[in-house]
Amino acid sequence: MTDLDLHGVAALLHRSYAWVQRNWRDLDGFPPPFVGGQPGGRPWWRAVDIEAYKAGQRWPSTPTTVDNLAQREPRPAVANDPKPHPPAHGVAALLRAAGGR
C-alpha cells in the first residue's frame, strides 16, 4: 500500500500540484486524507483511494460547520502563546501603568 502527498495525487489525477492544493477540499466526493486534513496540515492519501476515485467511487462530504469546529480538540498551548493576566483593579494599578508609584 502506497501513501501519496499532494504531489503524488496531482500526478495520479494528471493535474498540477497547485490545482490539487487549491481544489481538493471542493471536489465532489473526493476521499478525505487519512492524516493532515486540518487547516495548515500536510494531507496524505492512500493510493488505492485515489485510484478508486478515478474509477468512479465517491466519498460522503463532511462540510465544516460551527458544530464540527466546536467538537475539535482544543489546540495545545505553545511556549510563545500569550498568558492571560487577571485585570488589575484600583488607582494603584493605574498609577503603576502610567509610570507612577
Q: Identify the pLDDT of residue 62.
A: 60
Pairwise CA distance, residues 12 & 18, whole Å:
14
Encode 62-77: b = buried (16+ Cβ within 10 Å), e = exposed: eeeeeeeeeeeeeeee
Is residue 83 in a domain?
no
Instruction: Judge whether 28 lies within some domain.
Output: yes
Residue 37 lies in a domain: yes
Domain count, the chain: 1
Residue 32 lies in domain: 3-63
Residue 68 in any domain: the answer is no
Task: Give the model confidence (pLDDT) of 14-34 as tens digits.
Answer: 999 999 989 988 888 999 898
In a domain, 71, yes or no: no
pLDDT at position 64:
52
Q: Please give the pLDDT value at position 65.
A: 47
Does 52 fall in a domain?
Answer: yes
Per-residue pLDDT of the chain (101 residues; tens, 9 = 90+): 589 999 999 999 999 999 998 998 888 899 989 888 777 788 999 999 999 999 999 988 765 544 555 555 666 666 665 666 666 667 777 777 788 76
Is this prediction's pTM over 0.85? no
Q: What pLDDT is recorded for position 4?
A: 92
